[in-house]
Amino acid sequence: MNSLSNNLQPRSMGPLFSAKAWTAIILVTAVFACLPILNLSFAPGHTLHISAYTIGLIGKFTCYAMAALALDLVWGYAGILSLGHGLFFALGGYGMGMYLMRAGKSSPDIVPDFMTFLSWKAYPWFWSFTEHFWYAMLLVLLVPGLLAFIFGYFAFRSRIKGVYFSIITQALTFAAMLLFFRNETGFGGNNGFTDFKRILGFDITSPQTRAALYWLSLGALLAALILGRAITQSKLGRVLTAIRDAESRLRFLGYEPLGFKLFVWTVSAMICGVAGALYVPQVGIINPGEMSTENSIEMVIWVATGGRGTLIGPIVGAGVINGLKTWFTSALPEFWLYALGLIFVLVTLFLPQGIVGLIRRLGRREKALS
Amino acid sequence: MKLIFPFWRRLLLIAALALPMHMATALELVDRATLAGLASDNNNDKIEAINALGQLSHPGAAAILEALGNDNVLITSDGSVLVVESAGKAYDPTTGNSIAVPSGAEPITINNRLRRALQAAQASAELYSPSPVVRLAAVKRLQKEGDASRAPIISKALEKEQDAEIKQALTIALAASTIKSGDASARRQAAFVLGESGDANFKPVLSAMLQKDSNGQFAEPENNVRLAAETAINQIDRHQSLVAWAGNIFFGISLGSVLLLAALGLAITFGLMGIINMAHGELLMIGAYATYMVQLFFKAYLPGWISWYLVAALPVAFLVAAIVGMILERTVIRWLYGRPLETLLATWGISLMLMQAVRSFFGAQNVEVANPKWMTGGITVLGNLVLTYNRMVIIAFALCVVGVVWLVLNRTRLGLFVRAITQNRRMADCVGVATGRIDMLAFGLGSGIAGLAGVALSQLGNVGPDLGRSYIVDSFMVVVLGGVGQLAGTVVAAMGLGMLNKFIEPFWGAVIAKIAILLFIVLFVQKRPQGLFAPKGRSAE
């Protein structure tokens, strides 16, 4: 913990971002926002054409980045390492999936095949109103939020922290995965939801819809970044950092950490839920595999690689690791797990502050040299 | 496992039945009068002859009955009976002489009615078989039939029977066949016997006695017999719930000892040393693969000793896992002491690499690790509960490992140092404990125990690259529930979880039971964050 706190000296609560940072953010966002235009306006084969595959990939990474950012809020700033963010991500995805399942049918009351196999004639109660888009979106926010709130309330109240909290979140996610794997739970068992057709009346496979989803994801990521920055730059954010570095001391000073932790934990879960909801229409499937232990821990390594406690770092980390994954699984599928395992080990041993920390250190050294 | 026992019993039965066919000439003879009915055209005569053969109850008669069932009994044109030995050859059961099959001899065709009679006669013939296994099987069949007409045969057999187990089975069979007929006192006596047997198969018969017909009359007219039947039903129910409980306890202990084995290494590395080793599951897997390698070695070089390969696998698995563990500790984990969350990530990375390495070397498919002969089968208790040997061995093994770990931690110098470091690392360092070396050895011990657990797990389930993954959450749950640094807590938690799981399973099914238990632990840790056995005293962060 010590090295990390040195890196994050108390800053003045100035503006959200410095002018330089704003420029960089807007520039990068603009570049990424242009990509679908290149895809739509140039025919395949043209030098400036960007394939739909690339757009889909970046859109997917954007959602991952959002989940990583959410995880960074709790891990990087409040010191709560969650091994259960895959659960919130998947719950958001299932919320969206419920709407998409019903939107694709000629009538929203026709039950999907997996319910027919269970000889269910109508949708069970927890599916009610999911044919309305806005209600489903409410679920996307509220279900992960509520679960996180209830779970967090009990966990933080009994002062479970550190690795205990991590292991308990892992157990919770594992239990949820087992639950969703059952056919009788009513979420399609191990096949989950797939074969989506329309979203809000638009064809889900058309390039225009995909571009819109991409822009939405990009916008949501930007919004999450600004929200995260607003939280961490506020007084509340300072308390969170204090919780991370010396929770007992903070308590002795008269603060009750419960509310602060609970707030950031719930917000993080909700951001993660939104990321999951944006992810599902772009990849076209959601199944309980998203809740597996592996997925949640992979999210942690995105954050660690990019640099925790930086908000930008997780976005970079999610991009880098998933870029590598995409390359490896097509070029050297046998070696991807070796590479990922090595990244886990090397980052924890040699890059405790991640890529962003490394760049900062190099920058400082250059300044000192000049 | 459950299938194996009846299966080999059946095999023996078949072997015993096949035997008389080939020893035809040495068989007892059957007189001509008994067989005359078989040659008759009238089915009633045939049945009478079959029954008479059954009453004879000697191997010679049994051989004829067996042959009848296989359409191997011929009637010659002059009305004498021949039993086919092999193609074209037959023997005359009245003389025992082998002769060539004369022309015009035709096999007796067996219709359904005859076949029923035949089966019944065979059963009673088997009651006198020299093999106790055959006798017992025959008695068991008679118990199920509960045919009143068999009562005389059974009581005759009961007089001659010497074997206590078969005698008891015969008494039950007699009761089953007299419960519906016989006089009131015999029926009452039968109800008592059936109740004593505790066998759920008799429940329908007994319940039927208490039913009222359309006229409001009880099927069983006698009041005190009804009372006896009622008592018997209660007795059977009690026995069955006893069996269910005993089964739950046995399988609970069995599951608990598996959890205990899987978690014990973790209790040392996590509990005592505070290292979150996410690669613990892969150390289990390495132990299982070491077992597989030892098995291959024995198959290739020591085939005579193959049934003892497990014993050799124990030290091998321990050493391999311990060495892997010590390498991990020296190269990665030692740099991360005091940073548990980072340890978690690094060891997860290692677990990914180990899994992939095993996939590269052994393939992604499961490998086959066989149970040695002395671990297959089981003993049957309380009528129908099979306690398999492999589970019993693993329970005993888990207890031994716990004992050894306890001894190492509490009675050796290494254990003393490990406990000293757990209590106060700096102080231990100051008084000259080589903390670095002890860390390595302790981590090696924990890993080695995981390897031993891998040997046990290879005997229960599939051995594949994913073996460790399925145990990692469970193992951590056991250690967290038991309380960190508490060996006793680990044992109690593992056994408790095993039992709880098996007692919930019959009601909610395996998956929901698992979910319920995970939620239970999550809730439990809210109440007692330190686990079942919290260390007493003050501790500050």
| Mutation target vs B (from A163, A251, A299; most B CBs, 10 A cutoff) | A163
Cβ contacts (< 8 Å) between B357 and chain A: which residues? 338
Report the sign of the C-alpha dihedral through residues B259, A294, A304, A221, in that order.
negative
d(CA B321, CA B470): 18
pLDDT beyond 90 at A306: yes
pLDDT beyond 50 at B121: yes
Retrieve residue B201's tokens.
């198969």
pLDDT given at position B397? 93
Question: Is A249 part of any domain?
Answer: yes
pLDDT beyond 70 at A283: yes
User: Is A178–B515 a contact, with Cβ atoms under 8 angstroms apart?
Assistant: yes
| Mutation target vs B (from A81, A161, A164; most B CBs, 10 A cutoff) | A164
d(CA B147, CA B149): 6
User: Is B342–A345 a contact, with Cβ atoms under 8 angstroms apart?
Assistant: no
pLDDT beyond 70 at A139: yes
Cβ contacts (< 8 Å) between A325 and chain B: which residues? none
Helix (H) or strand (E) holding B387: strand B385-388
Cβ contacts (< 8 Å) between A158 and chain B: which residues? 525-527, 529
Q: Which residue has the higher pLDDT, B2 or B14?
A: B14
pLDDT beyond 50 at A29: yes
Q: What is the mean pLDDT of residues A354-363?
A: 90
pLDDT confidence band for B24 (50 / 70 / 90) = very low
pLDDT given at position B22? 45
Please give the mean pLDDT across all residues of chain B. Answer: 82
How far is CA B82 from each of CA A317, A366, B19, B87, B217, rounded to the nearest angstrom?
Answer: 89, 110, 18, 13, 53
Reported pTM: 0.78
Q: How many CB atoms lie within 10 A of CB B350?
A: 24
Q: What is the mean pLDDT of residues A339-346?
A: 93
**Nearest beta carbon to residue B276 from set A163, A304, A342:** A163
ipTM value greater than 0.95: no
pLDDT given at position B172? 82
pLDDT beyond 80 at B530: no
Beta strand extents in chain A (DSSP E only): 193-194, 198-199, 202-203, 285-286
Q: Does A249 touch chain B (CB under 8 A)?
A: no
Q: Where are the domains of chain B?
A: 4-126, 243-469
Nearest CA in chain A to B338: A1
Cβ contacts (< 8 Å) between B360 and chain A: which residues? 334
Sheet holding B89-91, edge to edge: B98-100, B89-91, B81-86, B73-75, B106-107
Q: Does B514 touch chain A (CB under 8 A)?
A: yes
Q: Does B350 touch chain A (CB under 8 A)?
A: yes
pLDDT given at position B189? 79
Q: Does B266 touch chain A (CB under 8 A)?
A: no
How far is CA B101 from each of CA B61, B80, B108, rounded to the nearest angstrom?
Answer: 20, 12, 14
**Nearest beta carbon to residue A158 from set B473, B519, B529:** B529
pLDDT given at position A261? 95
Task: Select, from the ranges A8-12, B243-247, B440-444, the one with the highest average predicted confidence (pLDDT).
Answer: B440-444
pLDDT beyond 90 at A216: yes
User: Is A171–B529 a contact, with Cβ atoms under 8 angstroms apart?
Assistant: no
pLDDT beyond 90 at B90: no
Q: Taking chain B, what is the end-to-end CA distance rounded to the nearest angstrom? A: 51
- Label the pairing between strands A285-286 and B73-75: unpaired
**Nearest beta carbon to residue B522 from set A159, A168, A338:** A168
pLDDT given at position B21? 46
Residue closest to A10 by CA, chosen among A265, A228, A262, A232:
A232
Question: Is A365 part of any domain?
Answer: no
pLDDT given at position A148? 96
In terms of Cβ atoms closer than 10 Å to its own Cβ (0-12, 13-18, 19+), residue B464 is: buried
Q: What is the mean pLDDT of residues A288-317?
A: 92
pLDDT beyond 90 at A142: yes
Phi, then psi, of B409 in degrees rounded to 5: -75, -30
Q: What is the mean pLDDT of residues B289-317?
A: 91
List Cβ<8 Å contacts ≥24 apart for A135-140. Answer: A136/A95, A136/A96, A136/A98, A136/A99, A137/A95, A137/A96, A137/A99, A137/A277, A139/A95, A139/A98, A140/A92, A140/A95, A140/A96, A140/A273, A140/A274, A140/A276, A140/A277
**Nearest beta carbon to residue B519 from set A164, A175, A344:** A175
pLDDT cut 90: percent of chain B above it:
22
Question: Is A351 part of any domain?
Answer: no
The residues, any chain, with a CB within 8 Å of residue A235's CB and separated by 6 or more, are: A13
Instruction: Tell me the pLDDT tens digit for each residue of B178-213.
Output: 777 767 777 777 877 887 777 777 777 777 777 777
Tell me the shortest Cα–Cα distance from B525 to chain A, in angstroms. Answer: 8
pLDDT beyond 50 at B296: yes
Quickly list DSSP for B329-351: HHHTGGGGTT-HHHHHHHHHHHH
Q: List the domain range (segments joined by +) for residue A208.
A: 18-296
Nearest CA in chain B to A167: B476
User: Is B348–A157 a contact, with Cβ atoms under 8 angstroms apart?
Assistant: no
pLDDT beyond 80 at A97: yes
pLDDT beyond 80 at B15: no
Instruction: Tell me the pLDDT tens digit for each residue of B381-416.
Output: 776 778 888 889 999 999 999 999 999 988 999 999
Q: What is the mean pLDDT of residues B528-539?
A: 62
Q: Does B18 touch chain A (CB under 8 A)?
A: no
Q: Does A182 touch chain B (CB under 8 A)?
A: yes
Q: Does B511 touch chain A (CB under 8 A)?
A: yes
Q: Which residue has the higher pLDDT, B529 or B393?
A: B393
Retrieve residue A192's tokens.
């989950």
Q: Does A352 touch chain B (CB under 8 A)?
A: yes
Q: What is the mean pLDDT of residues A148-155?
A: 92
User: Is A154–B526 a contact, with Cβ atoms under 8 angstroms apart?
Assistant: yes
Q: What is the mean pLDDT of residues B57-83?
A: 79
At position A25, the amino acid (one-letter code) is I
d(CA B209, CA B193): 15
User: Is A182–B336 a contact, with Cβ atoms under 8 angstroms apart?
Assistant: no
Q: What is the mean pLDDT of residues A343-356?
A: 91
**Nearest beta carbon to residue B477 from set A155, A171, A178:** A171
| Mutation target vs A (from B269, B328, B335, B353; most A CBs, 10 A cutoff) | B353
pLDDT beyond 70 at A28: yes
User: Is A172–B522 a contact, with Cβ atoms under 8 angstroms apart?
Assistant: yes
Retrieve residue B439's tokens.
């860390």
Q: Does B519 touch chain A (CB under 8 A)?
A: yes
**Nearest beta carbon to residue B525 from set A168, A248, A345:** A168
Q: How many CB atoms lie within 10 A of CB B438?
A: 20
pLDDT beyond 70 at A5: no
pLDDT confidence band for A158 (50 / 70 / 90) = confident
pLDDT given at position B274? 78
Question: Is A51 part of any domain?
Answer: yes
Q: Does B501 touch chain A (CB under 8 A)?
A: no
Instruction: Tell me the pLDDT tens digit for each residue of A46-70.
Output: 888 888 899 999 999 999 999 999 9
**Nearest beta carbon to residue A337 from set B276, B355, B472:** B355
Domain count, chain A: 1
Q: Does B510 touch chain A (CB under 8 A)?
A: no
Retrieve residue B375's tokens.
């671990």
The size of the A-B interface in CB pairs under 8 A is 119
pLDDT beyond 50 at B540: no
pLDDT confidence band for A26 (50 / 70 / 90) = very high
pLDDT given at position B358? 93
